[in-house]
Amino acid sequence: MTEQHRSAAGGLIGKRVPVLDKGWIELQDVMGDDMAIVSAARVSFMGESKGDEKDKRLLFRLLKDHHTSPFEQVEFKFRVRAPVVTWWQWVRHRTWQFNAQSGRYTPFEENDFYLPDTWRKQSPSNKQASRGALTDEEGAPFSAAALAHFEEGYRLYRAALDAGIARELARVYLPGFAVYYTWVCKVDAHNLMHFLRLRMAADAQYEIRVYAQAIYEHYFKPALPWTAEAFEKFILQPDAETASPT
């Protein structure tokens, strides 16, 4: 199983998944697999693999009983292109390590802006949530206005650059929450599960939920199939049957 795990994880490196209108996620590296978690747990008493059935049962028991330190032995590194409206949520997870594209060094492109495909309505009962959406007809004027706003902001940005204004100041003309940035992000499997639990939830903001779902479906589950199965059973569905796997 160890070689199968490693083969699955290795085959994911370089895979890019599109998200939102112009965003994407790309796995740059992964360290460890399900067996790395099992081995980290067994080092406490200098044990080794006892076969797939017992190894998987141990991993399930670790997650069920919240023995989370062995899951920190696996790490993922992503390259992510997302708008500021997404990053504003993401950086609250301080267990991630980030390196971001800098508008001081590289100029922005004309199409580096996020345009929602649906204009959601404000929830009347939750100050930080949305509920329902405008129809396409109702939303069309807002999409047109957003595009005009992007075009004018970018025109002023380019004019400032052409006039010799520093990039670090010229970017004040860009629509702040809509502009796309590319970041490199690293996290261990334990803290990634915490991120996924919160950001895949139905009440998470859509612009980060779609990134969390992409990470889980395209990278986490294929790289850590046992961990993903236990995660769904004990964390995403804690009220489900909690018996150890057979």
The CB-side HSE value for 209 (13 A sphere, CA atoms) comes to 8
> Which residues belong to the active site?
199
Whole-number pLDDT of residue 245: 45
Residue type, 144: A
What backbone torsions phi and psi does residue 180 show, to the nearest 5 degrees?
-85, 140
Whole-number pLDDT of residue 43: 82
- Secondary structure of residue 155 in the 3-state scheme: helix
What backbone torsions phi and psi does residue 184 show, to the nearest 5 degrees?
-105, 130
DSSP calls for 190-240: HHHHHHHHHHSSTTS-HHHHHHHHHHIIIIIHHH-HHHHHHHIIIIISTTS
Provide the residue-wise pLDDT of the chain in tens; the chain has 246 residues: 455 555 566 789 999 999 999 999 999 999 999 999 999 998 855 456 778 899 999 999 999 999 999 999 999 999 999 999 999 999 999 999 999 988 887 888 888 999 999 999 988 887 777 888 999 999 999 999 999 999 999 999 999 999 999 999 999 999 999 999 999 999 999 999 999 999 999 999 999 999 999 999 999 999 999 999 999 999 998 764 544 443
Whole-number pLDDT of residue 3: 57
To 5 degrees, how large is the angle CA 15–CA 19–CA 21? 130
User: Looking at the domain 2-101+180-236, which fold is it?
Assistant: Gyrase A; domain 2 (3.30.1360)
Whole-number pLDDT of residue 234: 96
For the chain, domain boundaries: 2-101+180-236, 120-173
Report pTM: 0.90
Whole-number pLDDT of residue 138: 96
